[in-house]
Amino acid sequence: MTTTTKSPATVFVAYPPTRGDPRECYTSIRNTVASVANYVQVVAPDVAALASHVAARRPDLAARAWYAALLVVAGKVHIGGSGYRTLATVRSQFNDRDYTIFTSSHDHLSPLRCTCPDSNHAPTTSGARHACKHVIAYVMVKQLAEEAK
């Protein structure tokens, strides 16, 4: 079940923490892509479907897609932000740092970018200069918000 709250500057998608705490999945030393995928499939099948779709189409993004799904389930993606090019902020899964998702032009049609360290190393896609897990999580939340309309 998805809870969507809309305000003028923010669309926030959260899942009730009824079947476990995503922080347990973050901090586990045995945290593998398979365990993350299993957790997301149990807690949020709609998010798991999006991650599966990304993983099937782009195997090079599979791990990032599942970790992005975990960010979505944990409610760490916040649409909107300060600045005309800022599209969202995504809270780090390991610390209290926020990463910014932005475009490089004012028309929001240019590729998405992120301020995280992985953004310079992640594979390139048609919609993102580098598709780190934060950018993928942002796209998932936007897709969920569209489906909720």
What is the tens place of the pLDDT at every residue in 97-137?
Answer: 999 998 876 655 568 889 998 888 888 887 777 889 999 99
pLDDT (tens digit, 9 = 90+) per residue, 31-80? 588 888 999 999 999 999 999 999 999 999 999 999 999 999 999 999 88
DSSP states of 15-45: ----S--HHHHHH-TT--HHHHHHHHHHH-H
Residues 58 and 65: their CA atoms lie apart, in Å, by 9
pTM for the model: 0.75
